[in-house]
Chains A and B, each alone.
Chain A
Amino acid sequence: MILNAITANRLTDGVAVWLAANASWSERIEDAARFDEVALEGALTEAKKSELGNTMVEVRPIEMSETGVPVALRERLRGEGPSVRADLPMEPVATRWAEPPFPPLPSSLSQSPKAGIYQYDEYDRQFLRNRAETFREQVNRRLAGELSEDEFKPLRLMNGLYLQLHGYMLRVAIPYGILSSTQLRQLGYIARYYDRGYGHFTTRQNIQYNWPRLVDTPDILAALAEADLHGIQTSGNCIRNVTTDQFAGAAADELVDPRLYAEILRQWSTDHPEFTYLPRKFKIALTGSPHDRAAVRVHDIGILAKRNEQGEPGFQFWVGGGLGRTPVIGTLVREWVPVRELLRYSEAILRVYNALGRRDNIYKARIKILVREMKPENFIRQVEEEYASMPADYCVLTDEIVEAVAQRFVTPPLEDLSAETPVLDAALKADADFARWVKTNTQAHFKPGYISFSISLKPVGGIPGDASADEMDFMADLADEYSFGEARVSHEQNIILPHVRIEKLYEVWQKLVAAKLATPNIGLLTNIIACPGMDYCALATARSIPVAQAIAHKLGDVERQHEIGKLDLNISGCINACGHHHVGNIGLLGVDRNGSELYQLTLGGSSDENASIGTIVGPGFDPERVPEAIDTVVNTYIAERQTGERFIDTYRRIGAKPFKEALYGAD
């Protein structure tokens, strides 16, 4: 006999609750009353009155087994909490959040330099404060019942607030991945006082908090505004946070600094009156280096900034790339868009999409489907027509405007340093661990004597992309001391200090080692991109984090990883592909098969300038067999590789067959 329980989330704090025997709501799944099919209907009708009364949201039945636990793994995780955080008990809820009074905001005490960060003026800041106050008013109208949940949902989403598996989740933008040390401390402060002591850096240069309360969210947004941060358009069917190369403005191989144009696109797209109710979400990525570190070809709009023969900057536009259930490499729609036309041409694309994108089926609503259904040549023609018919003075990005925005970026006071690096050279010779870290975790800087380095948030056994409030504070202190107060977040979920003196590298590395933040794995197998998966996400069909941890345990030996060399492994917990599995050299997609987790393996994906979508090699694997399968793939590569070949090179040369044979046996 099928028995059901009834569950919901509390409107005010998002806490998961279950309907108990006395018709009250309990925070403990153990208290859940069970109903047979006959009793369920009446109980559900009664329970939904809590929805009408604005105390609960998402009231729904869940199937229960005879032993009194939910049939679905997702619902068990919802009752027990994330399987990867046994240290965070689900109860008691009463003491889950810190009690005010809280100390002053880090932004109010800051003396930090802010080089490299776009400097807000009081109007910019007032704009964010007003947005936070608008949201406060919307929350109040929701609590008062003036707005229905259906109407409130897009409004909270536009401020980054989701209702997730365990409760609310707040996504805060880190515009094009750049953070001042003060901002990083402010993020830590939010984690410490309004959440549960940590945050998760995502694949789209955002940070997610997993446990905020609805009633606190206006205060959180107000606190963020004081540090020029916000959750605007981190969700919803609008133009999302514009992402770029994490080494922008520092990399030696850069042609155009994309930060300026990313900031212009950010401001243009914020509260855009025409493009806030699009058919579906819309993601723009931008890079200014021929080495694409921003995965621009798998975005709704991907922009490659480059220079013409006169040395003027301009943009190559790609449209309709994307991952998700229909992975597509974007279409090149225009070879050259001059700077003054950047917004006009972008508007033309968005306008065609808003008018013609499908709204009858959310799975077919992204621009990639429109481009495919219209055929690229027709899509391009329509965009060009729209572009040509714009009034000549509309939204022109004049030199003066570009210069005014550029003025707001303070150039870091880099010194003219000697190219000689005796301290580094000696340390590299004396300390093999340091040498290994330098090899993987550093990136050449355009200025002699400086270097950028990555702090890996992927320690073996850790949760990819998670950082505690204390770690955020620590990294902010390092940024102040060594990188002019500037830090970056990469789409690979790591933190970067962009402008560090090479001669200080050994010193800062020793501090990282002491803080357990010196994992030398950037670009290597255990630098795994992973979405939160079913441990946190209501859409997930399987968990991602435990699989990443198991792989890292099996293949995490540092020497072995360095021997394997460059290899991207990406894991998504569902077809929506937040973990970018399609473009991992090795990709894993967690699916549900008859209630159990199963992982499909794809090979040959890549997100760089030679972007490609991986191919499924065969039947999926049970979770416990995944590490062994990855080991087999790696061993096959090592056996087959020629001198100097990366994994992806070998795969492209020999194809999937040898890997299939190694995994599944010869036919």
Chain B
Amino acid sequence: MALIDAEVRVLEDNWIYGSEDIAANVIVPFAVLAENATTPRPVGVRVGPDVGADKVAALLDRVDLVAIEFPKFRDGRGFTTARVLREKYGYKGEIRAVGHVIPDQFEFLIQCGFSTVLTPPEHPPEHFRPVVPAGGGEGTNKKPLQLLNRLVGHRGAV
């Protein structure tokens, strides 16, 4: 497992996964964090697929990382959770995808506002390709888009 950003750079990862203790540098499950108003910082929140962005929103000002969990790659709830946190709640901090994602979803993850992906064991970083910014105008190196999406320009963070 490795931590990558949109350019597939492998990043140093000091976060602690899989612990339920309230401590600095731990990504704490949502339910645990919701019951503890004060925590050491930095602290992360692990958001399962059935939590939903509206509940997470209440915790945003006291977390340093939102880790959205994909139990299996076909479960696409995390895409909406990230997007709503960015657009409805204006969250500017790091959103990380953890769990089972596949390289073919990487671009969509980035477009929905994920900052980083914790790669699953069966897909090391070399399976992932950097996300090419989309837009596709003349004289650019951007990835081509069909007309409407060039005009509406709503394809997310990149």
* A and B interact physically: yes
Give residues in A with beta carbon < 8 Å to B: 121, 123-124, 126-127, 130, 138, 146-148, 151, 154-155, 237, 264, 267-268, 270-271, 273-278, 343, 351, 354-355, 359, 389-391, 394-397, 400-401, 404-405, 408
Beta-carbon contact of A408 and B147 below 8 Å? yes
User: What's the nearest-Cβ distance from chain A to residue B20, in Å?
Assistant: 25
Beta-carbon contact of A276 and B74 below 8 Å? no
Residues on B with beta carbons closer than 8 Å to the beta carbon of A400: 151
Beta-carbon contact of A146 and B127 below 8 Å? yes
User: What's the nearest-Cβ distance from chain B to residue A316, in Å?
Assistant: 22
Beta-carbon contact of A394 and B154 below 8 Å? yes
Give per-residue flags for B89-122: 1 if the beta carbon is below 8 A from chain A beta carbons, else 0: 0000000000000101101110110000000001
Contacts A273-B109, A276-B79, A343-B152 aside, 17 further interface pairs with beta carbons under 8 A come to A123-B136, A123-B144, A127-B145, A127-B146, A237-B76, A267-B148, A267-B149, A274-B79, A274-B83, A275-B76, A276-B76, A355-B53, A359-B75, A390-B87, A397-B152, A404-B151, A405-B148
Residues on A with beta carbons closer than 8 Å to the beta carbon of B104: 138, 155
Instruction: Report the Cα distance A275→B77, complex, angstroms.
Output: 9
Within B41-85, the residues touching A (CB, 8 Å) are: 49, 52-53, 73-77, 79-81, 83-84
Q: Within the complex, which residue of A267, A277, A396, A404 is in contact with B105, where a contact is CB–CB below 8 Å?
A: A277
A121-B147, A395-B152, A401-B151 are contacts. A355–B77 as well, Cβ < 8 Å? yes
A354-B80, A355-B81 are contacts. A276–B108 as well, Cβ < 8 Å? yes
Instruction: Report the Cα distance A273→B145, complex, angstroms.
Output: 13
- Most A C-beta atoms less than 10 A away, residue of B83, B144, B148, B149: B148
Beta-carbon contact of A401 and B144 below 8 Å? no
- Most B C-beta atoms less than 10 A away, residue of A138, A271, A404: A271
A146-B127, A151-B73, A354-B77 are contacts. A273–B155 as well, Cβ < 8 Å? yes
Q: Within the complex, which residue of A127, A395, A396 is in contact with B144, where a contact is CB–CB below 8 Å?
A: A127
19 CB contacts below 8 A, A to B, read A123-B136, A123-B146, A124-B146, A126-B136, A130-B143, A147-B102, A273-B109, A273-B112, A274-B79, A274-B83, A275-B79, A276-B79, A278-B76, A351-B84, A354-B80, A394-B87, A397-B152, A404-B151, A405-B147
A237-B74, A268-B152 are contacts. A273–B108 as well, Cβ < 8 Å? yes
Beta-carbon contact of B144 and A130 below 8 Å? yes
A123-B136, A278-B76, A401-B151 are contacts. A355–B112 as well, Cβ < 8 Å? no
Residues on B with beta carbons closer than 8 Å to the beta carbon of A395: 152, 154
Residues on A with beta carbons closer than 8 Å to the beta carbon of B77: 354-355, 359
Beta-carbon contact of A270 and B146 below 8 Å? yes
Q: Name the CB-closest residue of B to A347.
A: B154
Number of interface residues of B (CB under 8 A): 39
User: What's the nearest-Cβ distance from chain A to residue B104, in Å?
Assistant: 6
B150 at the interface (CB under 8 A from A): yes
Instruction: Report the Cα distance A396→B74, complex, angstroms.
Output: 29
Beta-carbon contact of A355 and B152 below 8 Å? no
Residues on A with beta carbons closer than 8 Å to the beta carbon of B127: 146
Beta-carbon contact of B74 and A277 below 8 Å? yes
Give per-residue flags for B5-41: 1 if the beta carbon is below 8 A from chain A beta carbons, else 0: 0000000000000000000000000000000000000
Residues on B with beta carbons closer than 8 Å to the beta carbon of A404: 147, 151
Residues on A with beta carbons closer than 8 Å to the beta carbon of B152: 268, 343, 395-397, 401
Q: Name the CB-closest residue of B to A400.
A: B151
User: What's the nearest-Cβ distance from chain B to residue A341, in Å?
Assistant: 13
Residues on B with beta carbons closer than 8 Å to the beta carbon of A351: 80, 83-84
Instruction: Report the Cα distance A130→B104, complex, angstroms.
Output: 14
Q: Name the CB-closest residue of B to A271.
A: B108
Give per-residue flags for B119-152: 1 if the beta carbon is below 8 A from chain A beta carbons, else 0: 0001000010000000010000001111111111
Beta-carbon contact of B102 and A151 below 8 Å? yes
Instruction: Report the Cα distance A148→B123, complex, angstroms.
Output: 11
User: What's the nearest-Cβ distance from chain A to residue B145, in Å?
Assistant: 6
User: What's the nearest-Cβ distance from chain A to residue B143, in Å?
Assistant: 7
Beta-carbon contact of A123 and B88 below 8 Å? no
Q: Name the CB-closest residue of B to A343.
A: B152
Instruction: Report the Cα distance A391→B113, complex, angstroms.
Output: 15
User: What's the nearest-Cβ distance from chain A to residue B112, in Å?
Assistant: 5
Instruction: Report the Cα distance A145→B59, complex, angstroms.
Output: 42
Q: Name the CB-closest residue of A to B88.
A: A389
Beta-carbon contact of A277 and B87 below 8 Å? no
Beta-carbon contact of B74 and A273 below 8 Å? no
Instruction: Report the Cα distance A267→B146, complex, angstroms.
Output: 7
Residues on B with beta carbons closer than 8 Å to the beta carbon of A138: 104
Residues on A with beta carbons closer than 8 Å to the beta carbon of B79: 273-277, 354
Beta-carbon contact of B146 and A277 below 8 Å? no
Q: Within the complex, which residue of B49, B83, B102, B144 is in contact with A126, where a contact is CB–CB below 8 Å?
A: B144
Q: Name the CB-closest residue of B to A122.
A: B144
Q: Name the CB-closest residue of A to B110.
A: A273
5 smallest CB-CB distances across A and B, nearest first, come from A277-B76, A273-B111, A267-B148, A273-B108, A126-B144
User: What's the nearest-Cβ distance from chain B to residue A344, in Å?
Assistant: 10
Residues on A with beta carbons closer than 8 Å to the beta carbon of B149: 267-268
- Most B C-beta atoms less than 10 A away, residue of A127, A394, A404: A127
Beta-carbon contact of B87 and A391 below 8 Å? yes
Instruction: Report the Cα distance A467→B148, complex, angstroms.
Output: 33
Beta-carbon contact of A123 and B74 below 8 Å? no
Q: Name the CB-closest residue of A to B52.
A: A355
User: What's the nearest-Cβ distance from chain B to residue A536, in Å?
Assistant: 26
Q: Name the CB-closest residue of A to B79.
A: A274
Instruction: Report the Cα distance A273→B108, complex, angstroms.
Output: 4
User: What's the nearest-Cβ distance from chain B to residue A179, in Å?
Assistant: 19
Instruction: Report the Cα distance A404→B102, complex, angstroms.
Output: 36
Instruction: Report the Cα distance A394→B84, complex, angstroms.
Output: 12
User: What's the nearest-Cβ distance from chain B to residue A97, in Å?
Assistant: 28
User: What's the nearest-Cβ distance from chain A to residue B139, in Å?
Assistant: 12
Instruction: Report the Cα distance A121→B150, complex, angstroms.
Output: 12
Residues on A with beta carbons closer than 8 Å to the beta carbon of B151: 400-401, 404
Q: Name the CB-closest residue of A to B112.
A: A273
Beta-carbon contact of A354 and B144 below 8 Å? no
